[in-house]
C-alpha cells in the first residue's frame, strides 16, 4: 500500500511537471508572439546638394549671370524646369523602399532663393507630401543658400534662425548662413541644422581655416542647444566640403564614429560608409563623403519608445549615374564643363533612418 501511494505520488508529480513545462512553453510562445507583433515607426532625414538650382533671372548685386538665358550656360526656362523636375524625381524616391512618405525632413543646399523651392515642392512627383519651407537669404556672392523642407504630417516648426559665419580679419568674407530649425517631430523635440561650409576653392589646404571656422560655429550652435537640454536630439546635416576624417569634423566639430564616445563628442554615422569607400561625390577617381550627418549622443540611447538612430545611407540609383565614359558611375550632373547633360546633381543625397517602437 505504501508502495502504491509512492507510485501514485510520483505519477502525480510527473503530471504536474509536465503541466508546468507546458505552461512555461505556452508563456514563452506568447512572449515570442508578442515580440513578433511589435510595431515600429521608421522615418527618414535627408540632405541633398541640388547643384546650382538657379532661376533664370539676373538678380542685381548677385553673381548669377552664368545662370541666365544670356549667360554662358544659356540657362533658359526649359532647362530650369527640367532641372527642377529632375530634383523632384530624386527627392520622390529617397528612402521610399523603407518609408513610403520619403524624407520627413530634407535639408538642401545650392538653391538661389525661396522661389526655386516653392516651384520644387509643387512638382507633382512630391506635391502630395505638402512640403513646407524654411529659408533665409544668405550673403553668399553667388546668391546660393541652404534651406529645409519638412513634411507637416511629421514635424511642426517652433523656432528657426539663420546664423552668420564671420571670421576676424576677413570682413569681406561672405558665405552661406547656417540654418537652425527647432520643432516637434512626431511628439518629440528635435533640432535640425543645415549647412554648406566654405568650398575648397583655391586648394584644400589654403581654404581649410574657413571650414574649421564653419565647424566651430556649427559646434557652438549644438553646444547652445545642449546647454538648454543635455538630452537634445540634434542633427547637423549638409555639404561640409570636407570628409569625416578632416580636422574640421574630427577636431573642431569633435565628431567620430567610435562606439565608446567621450561625453563631449558627437557621433558621425556617415563615417563608416566613407571607410568602406562609399561617397556622395567623386573627384579624380576618388570618392568623397562631403554630404554628412552628425548627431548628438541622445540619438544612440537604448530607450526604444523614442526615436533612435538606425542607419545611414547614400541614395545612388543607376539612373542617377553617368553610364559611360571616364566618369562612368559618377553622379550624372546638370553640366560637365560647359556641356549641358540634363542630369541631376554632382552630389548624391545622404539620409538617416530613425526608428522607434510603438505599443
How confident is the model over 229-278, as pLDDT tens digits? 999 999 999 999 999 999 999 999 999 999 899 999 999 999 999 999 99
Q: With a cut of 90, say whether residue 20 has pLDDT above it.
A: no
Q: What was the pLDDT predicted at 60? A: 86
Q: 33 with 48, same domain? A: no
Of the candidates 229, 222, 188, the residue with the CA atom closest to the CA atom of residue 43: 188
d(CA 352, CA 95) in angstroms, rounded, equals: 9
Q: What was the pLDDT predicted at 159? A: 98
Q: 19 with 58, same domain? A: no
Q: With a cut of 80, say whether residue 169 has pLDDT above it.
A: yes
Checking DSSP bridges between strand 234-239 and strand 188-196, what pairing results, if any? parallel
Confidence band, pLDDT 50/70/90 cuts, at residue 14: very low
Of the candidates 344, 332, 335, 281, the residue with the CA atom closest to the CA atom of residue 89: 344
Q: 12 with 58, same domain? A: no
d(CA 14, CA 278) in angstroms, rounded, equals: 61
Q: How many CB atoms lie within 10 A of CB 136?
A: 16
Number of domains comprising the chain: 2
User: What whole-number percentage of the chain has pLDDT above 90?
Assistant: 83
d(CA 27, CA 33) in angstroms, rounded, equals: 10
Q: H/E element holding 32? A: helix 2-36
Q: 172 with 278, same domain? A: yes
d(CA 251, CA 17) in angstroms, rounded, equals: 63
Q: 219 with 240, same domain? A: yes
Give me the chain's average pLDDT, please: 91
Q: Which domain holds residue 169?
A: 42-358
Q: 32 with 46, same domain? A: no
Q: 197 with 276, same domain? A: yes
Q: 283 with 305, same domain? A: yes
Q: 28 with 110, same domain? A: no
**Better pLDDT: 94 or 37:** 94
Amino acid at each position: 500500500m505504501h508502495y502504491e501511494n509512492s507510485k501514485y505520488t510520483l505519477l502525480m508529480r510527473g503530471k504536474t511537471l509536465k503541466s508546468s513545462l507546458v505552461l512555461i512553453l505556452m508563456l514563452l510562445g506568447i512572449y515570442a508572439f508578442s515580440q513578433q507583433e511589435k510595431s515600429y515607426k521608421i522615418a527618414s532625414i535627408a540632405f541633398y546638394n541640388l547643384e546650382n538650382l538657379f532661376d533664370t533671372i539676373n538678380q542685381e548685386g548677385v553673381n548669377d549671370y552664368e545662370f541666365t538665358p544670356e549667360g554662358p550656360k544659356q540657362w533658359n526656362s526649359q532647362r530650369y524646369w527640367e532641372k527642377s523636375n529632375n530634383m523632384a524625381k530624386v527627392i520622390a524616391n529617397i528612402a521610399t523602399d523603407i518609408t513610403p512618405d520619403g524624407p520627413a525632413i530634407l535639408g538642401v543646399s545650392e538653391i538661389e532663393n525661396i522661389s526655386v523651392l516653392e516651384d520644387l515642392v509643387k512638382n507633382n512627383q512630391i506635391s502630395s507630401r505638402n512640403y513646407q519651407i524654411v529659408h533665409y537669404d544668405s550673403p553668399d556672392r553667388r546668391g546660393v543658400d541652404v534651406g529645409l523642407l519638412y513634411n507637416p504630417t511629421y514635424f511642426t516648426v517652433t523656432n528657426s534662425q539663420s546664423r552668420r559665419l564671420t571670421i576676424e580679419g576677413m570682413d569681406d568674407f561672405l558665405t552661406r548662413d547656417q540654418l537652425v530649425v527647432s520643432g516637434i517631430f512626431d511628439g518629440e523635440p528635435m533640432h535640425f541644422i543645415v549647412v554648406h561650409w566654405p568650398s575648397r576653392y583655391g586648394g584644400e589646404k589654403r581654404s581649410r581655416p574657413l571650414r574649421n571656422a564653419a565647424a566651430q560655429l556649427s559646434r557652438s550652435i549644438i553646444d547652445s542647444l545642449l546647454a538648454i537640454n543635455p538630452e537634445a536630439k540634434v542633427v547637423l546635416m549638409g555639404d561640409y566640403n570636407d570628409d569625416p576624417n578632416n580636422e574640421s569634423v574630427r577636431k573642431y566639430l569633435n565628431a567620430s564614429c567610435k562606439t565608446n564616445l567621450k561625453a563631449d563628442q558627437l557621433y558621425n554615422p556617415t563615417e563608416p560608409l566613407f571607410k568602406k569607400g562609399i561617397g556622395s561625390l567623386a573627384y579624380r577617381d576618388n570618392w568623397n563623403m562631403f554630404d554628412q550627418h552628425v548627431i548628438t549622443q541622445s540619438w544612440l540611447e537604448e530607450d526604444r519608445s523614442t526615436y533612435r538612430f538606425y542607419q545611414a545611407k547614400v541614395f545612388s540609383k543607376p539612373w542617377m549615374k553617368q553610364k559611360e565614359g571616364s566618369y562612368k558611375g559618377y553622379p550624372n550632373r546638370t553640366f560637365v564643363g560647359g556641356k549641358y547633360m540634363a542630369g541631376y546633381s554632382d552630389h548624391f543625397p545622404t539620409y538617416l533612418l530613425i526608428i522607434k517602437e510603438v505599443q
